[in-house]
Amino acid sequence: MAETAEKAKKQERVAMPEQEPKVRARNFLEVPTGYTVKMAQDEASRCLQCKKPACVEGCPVGVDIPGFIEKITEGDFTGAIRNLWSKNALPAVCGRVCPQESQCEGRCIVGRKGQPVAIGNLERFCADYERENGTGELPPKAASTGKKVAVVGSGPSGLTVAGDLIIKGHDVTVFEAFHKPGGVLVYGIPEFRLPKAIVAQEVNFLERQGVNIQCNAVVGRTVSLDELFEEGYDAIYIGVGAGLPRFMNIPGENLVGILSANEYLTRANLMKAYEYPKVDTPIPLGKNVVVLGAGNVAMDSARTAMRLGAESVKIVYRRSRDEMPARQAEIHHAEEEGIELFLLTNPTKYLGNEQGRLTGMECLQMELGEPDDSGRRRPVPVKGSEFTIDCDLCIVAVGSGANPLLTSTTPDMTLNKWGNVVADPKTGKTTKKGVWAGGDIVTGAATVILAMGAGRDAANSMHDYLTLGW
Amino acid sequence: MFKIVHREEMAEGTVVLNEIEAPLIAKKAKPGQFVILKANEEGERIPLTMAETNPEKGTITIIYMVVGKSTALFKELKVGEGFQDVIGPLGKPTHLEKVGKVVCVGGGTGVAVLHPITRGLKDIGNDVTCIIGARNKGLLILEEQMKNASHDLRVCTDDGSYGHHGFVTDVLKDVLDSEDVKLVVAIGPVPMMKAVSQITKERNVETLVSLNPIMVDGTGMCGGCRVTVGNETKFACVDGPEFDGHQVDYDELMLRLRAYHEEERKCHNDYCTIRDAK
Ligand SMILES: Cc1cc2nc3c(=O)[nH]c(=O)nc-3n(C[C@H](O)[C@H](O)[C@H](O)COP(=O)(O)OP(=O)(O)OC[C@H]3O[C@@H](n4cnc5c(N)ncnc54)[C@H](O)[C@@H]3O)c2cc1C
Ligand SMILES: Cc1cc2nc3c(=O)[nH]c(=O)nc-3n(C[C@H](O)[C@H](O)[C@H](O)COP(=O)(O)OP(=O)(O)OC[C@H]3O[C@@H](n4cnc5c(N)ncnc54)[C@H](O)[C@@H]3O)c2cc1C
Ligand code: SF4
Ligand code: SF4
Ligand code: FES
């Protein structure tokens, strides 16, 4: 063991090749281009195959990390993907977007002295290898139970439930408000980070297994939950995400040129506005762009603006670098691409011209004070530090809340004070009989893997209900 | 696909009517609600109010003015062809109530949006006067239908080619001065709704308007449709599209409607050049 530890330490983590920052900052192709078989096996050989793997504890769905990595070293890529699938329905997605540094890789033993095993990259490799070389064979399906399940929302949470329940023999229909399935994976996370063809293939995989996906169905408007029960559905899963944009509520916010990140990214990703005028949906092209916020959503917005040809893109955030919630890889990529960080800066007012268009914003410099409720040091304004930033486009990425469209038409389901659905953390059961919920609509904006984990727990509980009772 | 089963051109071809198969939406829709339509894979999501619904037949009817690329593309669709996506019903239905004397004011394609609301108000027992206007006689739409949906129809044209010579607001003032009007519903171009609201505010008559900001999802998810009403920001797609006309910041709405003006003009011109060259 000591010997292998020495070896792993000596052997550098295999970096995944990436497009050059200068080149990629102006195109929408994926940034990291993937491991070759050799690279994957070299990286896999760095894993110590721990008996009590700390990494697994860091993964919210408990992926058997040493197990699938061992299969890679053996060259059994089919075995590796099967192993991954048993815990995680969307490894191609998670390998790309999980915040590995604070989950699996953050716990990896090799990471104590050097760079942790690149678990995410390896997971991505297996999924990509299967997609490109696999047989596309469908998993075996249990005999039909005759039970009908409705899944509302086709984000990672809803897709997980659909995939799990179809295999268990239930008849599954997914209702999606947008004209395309995938949730944030299609309308939020950009092409250069998660190619839409991958999401489409995952959805297609579910359809081939028999999942019926009904787009353009706004539950709460086109049909209500009670009407779904009347139509003969036996159980319903709600995975509608956190689709309510938050704004700053500072003067001038309705000037032309100020968009929520939801709007900006939906135009860019779902509507493919970066190909305008080849497609019909326009997107505002800013010369000097400011993005408010410092999470993944902010990084995605900033990097999209850069790719759309901005001269300058600034991220304005009121706390310091340590508090930035985005994945490290995204912050690093953004900076490499020329995006500037204006930390400890808080906007107080938008400035506009006579045409009602944004021309700039007034900001205050902040400094860190005493810790607040979240344990993070509270930013407090520095007196007399006002200054202006010129900008013609501002993207507001300061978080999102629970969209009330569905819940307001379902009065007999309990919500918390922020409007999130109250669900049992173990089973996903809501207070309404026959209805489960999970993902961002329950937890508030979180991560893909947590939304999937909640989906899996709920699917198990729903299966029990459908076969045993409430 | 959502198939077009009937199609008409009105107002010298500047306005088009499509009756579309959409049984789920037809069953649920109420006056004042809208749908979002997308013609094809590359298409934009365009909000249009349902001018008519037929739950038995499973169809909805939209009436739209051809103003840009997307509506020009819609106009090309023939009976038997259809829209790739139709989403709805969206927005809050009109709150229909018996109040007594009501005046419905419509301009341009706003008349189409006004039609089901007018009929709804009449059906529950209100005394409804309707004032509709257009630039000239040829551009007037739904005159016959509006006559049937109300007790008294007044028509205006800007150029005097038909009916009263002048704006709908002139006639509205006359009616407000001679009768005890309880409610005014105004739907049309933003400047018209603004003018109507100014007149009714002076006279303290409750006024309902239907706003048409630029939208993307129509479900309260993007905030692109935000409007200021009574100094508060509202999302028109879920909080509206109808609002208290006296509270709306029309000037802001007009500026926001022009957000993509340059891009849209170019896109439309390119499209027409290519289409006409074919
Ligand atoms: C720009 C962006 C970047 C992100 N980056 C990362 C990242 O790098 N890593 C990470 O782990 N997480 C990331 N996240 C967070 C992650 O995407 C979410 O936590 C996750 O997608 C939540 O999944 P969900 O299934 O709960 O909901 P969603 O993915 O939001 O899907 C909900 C679906 O429900 C549909 N819907 C909503 N209302 C209705 C209704 N009434 N009827 C029918 N359908 C409805 C929506 O249209 C949507 O398709 C990011 C989020 C965003 C916005
Ligand atoms: C809730 C709602 C209901 C509507 N109902 C109807 C209806 O029943 N009949 C009808 O004819 N129109 C209706 N509209 C307006 C219609 O959506 C627009 O005319 C349409 O989006 C224009 O698309 P386009 O691509 O053809 O034109 P574009 O190329 O997008 O625009 C052409 C011009 O119209 C302006 N414009 C863009 N979007 C809108 C908009 N949403 N509203 C008004 N002007 C806009 C642009 O600034 C530009 O100057 C409604 C709008 C909303 C929000
Ligand atoms: S699912 Fe995410 S957290 Fe779990 S092992 Fe894979 S990358 Fe790590
Ligand atoms: S902790 Fe690191 S070295 Fe140990 S099994 Fe997990 S990935 Fe391998
Ligand atoms: S259209 Fe997106 S919130 Fe109204």
CATH number at A368 reads: 3.50.50.60
How far apart CA A251 and CA B164 sit, in angstroms, is: 44
CB of A221 within 8 Å of any CB in chain B? yes
Same domain as A97, residue A231: no
A&B contacts, CB < 8 Å: 113
| Domain extent listing, chain B | 2-90, 101-210
Same domain as A312, residue A439: no
Same domain as A127, residue A74: yes
> How far does the CA of residue A254 sit from the closest CA of chain B (Å)?
7
A120-172 tens-digit pLDDT: 999 999 999 999 998 878 888 889 999 999 999 999 999 999 999 999 999 99
Contacts of B226 in chain A (CB under 8 A): 254
Top residue of B70, B219, B249, B272 to mutate, by most chain A CBs within 10 Å, is B219
| Residue B156 annotated as part of some ligand binding site | no
ipTM, two decimals, is 0.91
B17-65 tens-digit pLDDT: 999 999 999 999 998 999 999 999 999 999 999 998 999 999 999 999 9
How far apart CA A401 and CA A409 sit, in angstroms, is: 17
For residue B270, pLDDT beyond 80: no
Contacts of B86 in chain A (CB under 8 A): 216
How far apart CA B17 and CA B62 sit, in angstroms, is: 6
How far apart CA A367 and CA A24 sit, in angstroms, is: 34
pLDDT (0 to 100) of residue B95: 87
Instruction: Give the total number of structural domains in chain A.
Output: 3
| CB-based contact A223 B258, cutoff 8 Å | no
Rounded to the nearest angstrom, the distance between the alpha carbon of B69 and the centre of ligand 3 is 45
Q: Are residues A131 and A198 in contact, defined by beta-carbon separation less than 8 angstroms?
A: yes
For residue A225, pLDDT beyond 90: yes
First-to-last CA distance in chain A?
Answer: 49
- Percent over 90 (pLDDT), chain A: 83
Residue A279 domain-assigned (yes or no): yes
| CB-based contact A280 B73, cutoff 8 Å | yes
B139-155 tens-digit pLDDT: 888 888 898 888 989 99
Same domain as A274, residue A415: no
User: In this structure, which residue's CA is closest to atom 3 in ligand 5?
Assistant: B220
Q: Which atom of ligand 2 is nearest to the CA of B112?
A: 8
First-to-last CA distance in chain B?
Answer: 26
Residue A319 domain-assigned (yes or no): yes
Provide the token pair at B89: 């019903």
Among candidate residues A348, A378, A398, the one where a domain is terminated: A398
Residues present in chain B in total: 278
Provide the whole-model pTM: 0.92
Q: What is the mean pLDDT of chain B?
A: 91
| Residue B272 annotated as part of some ligand binding site | no
CB of A200 within 8 Å of any CB in chain B? no
Question: Residue range A449-455: average pLDDT?
Answer: 94
Residue A142 domain-assigned (yes or no): no
Closest to B105 (Cα-Cα) out of B215, B197, B13, B211: B197
CB of A183 within 8 Å of any CB in chain B? no
Domain hosting A156: range is 148-243+401-468
Fold of B101-210: Rossmann fold (3.40.50)
Question: Residue range A39-52: average pLDDT?
Answer: 95
| Cα dihedral B170, B214, A178, B235 sign | negative
Rounded to the nearest angstrom, the distance between the alpha carbon of A196 and the centre of ligand 1 is 14
Contacts of A260 in chain B (CB under 8 A): 222-224
> How far does the CA of residue A264 sit from the closest CA of chain B (Å)?
8
- Percent over 70 (pLDDT), chain A: 97
For residue A190, pLDDT beyond 90: yes
pLDDT (0 to 100) of residue B165: 87
pLDDT (0 to 100) of residue A10: 59
- Given pLDDT bands bounded at 50, 70 and 90, which one contains residue B189? very high
Residue A139 domain-assigned (yes or no): no
pLDDT (0 to 100) of residue B160: 84
Q: Are residues B103 and B154 in contact, defined by beta-carbon separation less than 8 angstroms?
A: no
Same domain as A261, residue A273: yes
**Which CATH architecture fits B2-90?**
Beta Barrel (2.40)
B250-269 tens-digit pLDDT: 999 999 988 877 776 777 77
Contacts of A271 in chain B (CB under 8 A): 44-45, 216
pLDDT (0 to 100) of residue A5: 54
Rounded to the nearest angstrom, the distance between the alpha carbon of A25 and the centre of ligand 1 is 25
CATH number for A68: 1.10.1060.10
Top residue of A214, A254, A394 to mutate, by most chain B CBs within 10 Å, is A254
Considering only residues B57 and B271, tell me which one the structure prediction assigns the higher pLDDT.
Answer: B57
Question: Residue range A42-51: average pLDDT?
Answer: 95
